[in-house]
Chain A
Amino acid sequence: MKTFASTVYLGFSMLIWASCGLAQAQQFPAKPMKLIVPFAPGGPNDILGRLVGQKLTEQWGQQVIVENRGGAGGTIGLEAAARLPKDGYGIAMGGTSNLAVAPSLYEKLSYDPVKDFTPVINVALVPYALAVNPTVPAKSVRELVPIAAKKAGYLSYGSSGMGSMSSLAAELFNAMAKSDVLHVPYKGTAPALTDVVSGQIDMMFADLSLIKPHAAVGKLRTVGVTSAKRVVSSPEIPTIAESGLPGYDISPWFGVVAPEGVPKAVVTRLNAAIASSLKSADVIQRLGALGYEPIGGSPEQFTATIKSDIGKYAKIVKTAGIKADL
């Protein structure tokens, strides 16, 4: 009898507990939320993070406080995000650099991108492109490769620092084109791109949105986009893969992650809300103006992307022989 009673008791309590969880998910969010942007204000991560925050606020009527926690290539902010309470009220905007590249780049990374986070949704692709100074006699990647491979150090490329996405894209180019384009690192994308415009250095991989205005007036020449498919907003620019380096693919994305252990129902709710806002006309228009491409999809799809990209960039980092510590 005693065992029966306790079983019933246990059954009841489990029922109550389960319904509480369900109710919690339905009520979510019942208080203001926090979204960590692991970079300084102004970059694509910040723009996308604030857009997501604004859309969630509009849909749920709860304030989403965006907090910029920049530093160490976006890893300080993600470390803080991994330690947020596991209730879904704290989320972060991650990206290829700090979720997929960081594990193979930094030996002492303080978080595990797979184990410490619950992926929520992949938000947008921020297209990258290869730009050269117009004095470089190459109209396409096909013409550029022999020039770059002719002599070691004949051309130079700028990047926003060793181990950054722009340096990885260039090192992948070097490896696939069997060239030795000199690396000149800068502190950030803007100063590096400035020096490509002025001809101090010859080429650079950077956000297409930053290259475009200079290319429009002939100060830069865009020779190819880095993604496997052509970019929707600039279909006239060929991909690097189709113009001489088959298989070349660098597609930087930015997506929302929550700490590991957030209830599945809450993740689903967050995913649905952000996914629907990515389909709204004003978001499409705002992202389109910058050339960003909304991605969306399920948490499982995002998990798969993160996992496959971790493997992909591990290979690139190894081939290029890039090392960094933190």
Chain B
Amino acid sequence: MGETFNSLMMGFSVAFQPEVLMYAFFGCIIGTLVGMMPGLGPLAGISLLLPATFGLNPIIAIVLLAGVYYGAMYGGSTTSILMRIPGEAASVMTCVDGYAMTQQGRAGPALAIAAIGSFFAGTFGVIGLMLMAPTLASFALRFGPPEYTALLLMGLFVLAYMSGGSMLKTLAMAVLGLLLGMIGIDVMSGYTRFSFDIVELGDGVGIVPVAVGLFGISEILLTAGQVDPPKVQQPTLRQLIPTKADLKLSVGPIMRGSLLGFMIGIIPGSAHIISSFVSYGIERRLSKHPERFGNGAIEGVAGPESANNAAATGAFVPMLALGIPTGPVTAVMLAAIMVHGILPGPMLIQQQPDLFWGFVASMYVGNVVLLVLNLPMVGLFVNLLRIPYAYLYPCILAFCILGCYSVSNSTMDVWIMLVMGGVGYVLRKFGYDLAPVALGLVLGPMLELSLRQSLAMSGGDYAIFVQRPIAVTMLVMGLILLGLALKPLIFKSKDWRSSVGLDKTID
């Protein structure tokens, strides 16, 4: 413990060097701005900034990029809450209740809770990273394709708790998402599916253009179709601050979200995306009033937002302890230090202690910076809503197109976004919930790949899933969850949906 403390102090001495501190601050600001751009998320942000770090020293480079990373996670929630535009897959769930709160004139509390939750989750994650990185990393390595398959299956079962509409509609939307996920090159065989000779579709349909289209563009279209333009909001100072009741409701979701996000985040692979979906599902299941979800429940903002920030920090565990990237974002960050001739690997902490501890310390600093930066800004952000829609929405549309294009300089992404905007418009007119589409699109390709990898490993033998303890445990838990969801169907008892009057649409 003493050693950790000394190392941390050494880390702070690195992090408080004026130059490092300045770049950490820069990173947070740039990240927040990037995150607020519709369609631009953390990955796009750090990919665009990576070249700029080549001239800096490796510690500063990684501190800057980390700042951009969690800054963008914070910033992403702002556009999700205010405009229903997710900057990245992880903020899709925030759009649902966060935007509903905005429409009720409660954008302030939603933004504040998102910032507080993110701060708590980020700090929790850094402490976990600092104290247990090597232990956790070796645990993370026990996740192979079979365990991954089991984890993703559990993610699928969460669907049952995800949307407020009828079960049939929820499943239909999930299937739509899964089908969209089929498009692109099949990694196992090298053949393309459903790409209609469009080369760009070979890499599949990205979640960001789909999410921005389904949620953001459809909202703009729906607003344009209203007879009376929506009233421009005039938030008062009082409305900006979360009430005591808000805070009380959020404590549980923030704690659970942080723990859940961190655990999912340390697993190599892109599973961290599902952390916010799972958190939302859990909060809804645990809530005494599940009917409030989807209509502006603050827990629906607190849980997922904490989960995605904790997952972002969790992703650094295998990256720093083992030199293994957990996903595209950490891969780019590793590239940033590789450029400087540091080969990331299991010896990174021992060989580059000032890099590791400086990084950890800078994350404490960064989290505080973001909280200090974001809480007072809530008022400013909310005032964006004062802009009349006739001016606001065309600007947002332009930003959506810009953001979407700049991620990979592809006009195809822009088309996907616009088409999905139209699809989202029609689906919402018919009362479909869109979050399951996003979950399906995220889960589908990952689930297919890990299932087929597992079977390739075992030579086609399904027993691989029951021979491995972690996989078995998770599958059993998943089955119990599924059983609970099916129970009302089998025993004809009342589901929570009908008991709270949600399943009226099914007739």
Contacts and interface: CB of A to CB of B under 8 A. Distances in A.
Interface residues of A, number: 59
Interface string B125-154: 000000000000000011111000000000
B408 A69 contact: yes
B341 A213 contact: no
Contacts of A50: 51, 54
Contacts of B456: 156, 182-185
Given A47-B339, A213-B344, A216-B345, 14 more contacts: A40-B47, A68-B47, A69-B409, A71-B203, A76-B199, A193-B324, A194-B268, A195-B144, A210-B343, A213-B346, A216-B347, A217-B346, A323-B190, A326-B192
A205 B453 CA distance: 17
A228 B344 CA distance: 27
B227 interface: no
30 contacts: A40-B47, A41-B47, A41-B335, A42-B332, A43-B335, A47-B338, A47-B339, A50-B51, A66-B51, A68-B408, A69-B409, A108-B197, A156-B456, A162-B189, A163-B190, A182-B456, A182-B459, A184-B456, A186-B187, A191-B269, A194-B268, A194-B318, A210-B343, A212-B343, A213-B323, A214-B345, A216-B345, A286-B341, A323-B191, A324-B190
Contacts of B347: 213, 216-217
Residue of A67, A186, A209 with most chain B CB atoms under a 10 A cut-off: A186
B421 interface: no
B449 A187 contact: yes
A234 B100 CA distance: 59
Interface of B: 47, 50-51, 54, 141-145, 185-192, 197, 199-200, 202-203, 268-269, 318, 322-325, 328, 331-332, 334-336, 338-339, 341, 343-348, 408-410, 449, 453, 456-457, 459
A110 B199 contact: yes
A292 to B, nearest CB: 11
Contacts of A325: 190-192
A156 B464 CA distance: 15
A7 interface: no
A194 B453 CA distance: 14
Interface of A: 40-43, 46-47, 50, 54, 66-72, 75-76, 79, 105, 108, 110, 153, 156, 161-163, 182-188, 190-191, 193-195, 197-198, 200-201, 209-210, 212-214, 216-217, 219, 285-286, 289-290, 322-326
Contacts of B449: 186-187
A326 B199 contact: yes
B199 A185 contact: no
A193 B341 CA distance: 20
